[in-house]
Amino acid sequence: MPPAADPHPPILQARKLCKVYGSGEAAVHALRDVDLDVARGEFVVLLGASGSGKSTLLNILGGLDRPSSGTLSFAGQPLTGVGEDALTTYRREHVGFVFQFYNLIPSLTVAENVALVTDIARDPMPVDEAIALVALSPRRNHFPSQLSGGEQQRVAIARAIAKRPELLLCDEPTGALDYATGKLVLEVIARINAELGTTALVITHNAAISGMADRVVRVADGRIDRIERPERRLTPAELAW
């Protein structure tokens, strides 16, 4: 008899992921044999020096890029060895991305920026619900240029979560923000993880942020160097750096 399927597969399962950019003498081994399981609802922080491979890993986990070798699955379904259409569907339906620079459309208001996503999503939340989740309801009709960096990042988060993705992948979401503003943005990500159950993976250079995580994955030279599980998850307000 074949083994029974795991009733609760990890939302992400990576095995022996490798990524090589270029070839020959110019080859860069950005990821080397990365194994990682992420449980549904987890809050994972990825830490590591510049160039260690964090963005490469996050981009592959989010279906923005493909590994050179190794396997990846989402909720038990393979994402490696599949066509471009399957990867696009995965990204569109299941993944919300937040980057360091907010990538908002300057000529559209907050509500219109979020609506860009809800208009094409399968089961989106109402635009104003997404905006309320990031505490920007009073600014719904403002343009990005009228908002602070932290507020713009919260709009980017509203846009990322409005389609109710299972995964929220954030690459240096506080990288361009000052201390207090960065904390506010992290509070929003932590609240979405807690209230919506969205699995969150957050890249940072800032080790202090790791106190917020269920698990801290340390990446060094393209490998997972170690994984730590803090005894108690801190709120962003309790973090200090």
Ligand X SMILES: Nc1ncnc2c1ncn2[C@@H]1O[C@H](COP(=O)(O)OP(=O)(O)OP(=O)(O)O)[C@@H](O)[C@H]1O
Report, in Å, the least distance between residue 28 CB and ligand X. Answer: 4
Nearest to 40 by CA among 6, 82, 5, 4: 6
Nearest to 109 by CA among 160, 151, 154, 143: 143
Complex with ligand X: residue 22 or 197, whichever CB lies closer: 22
Report, in Å, the least distance between residue 21 CB and ligand X. Answer: 3
Residues that bind ligand X (CB under 6 A): 21-22, 28, 30, 48, 50-56
Nearest to 167 by CA among 93, 84, 79: 93
| Residue length of the chain | 241
Report, in Å, the least distance between residue 24 CB and ligand X. Answer: 13
Report, in Å, the least distance between residue 60 CB and ligand X. Answer: 10
Complex with ligand X: residue 110 or 167, whichever CB lies closer: 167
Is the separation of the CB atoms in 230 and 211 below 8 Å? yes
- Residue 125 tokens, joined: 């939340």
Complex with ligand X: residue 114 or 216, whichever CB lies closer: 216
- Residue 207 tokens, joined: 């080790």
**8 Cβ contact list (under 8 Å, min separation 6):** 40
Complex with ligand X: residue 101 or 141, whichever CB lies closer: 101
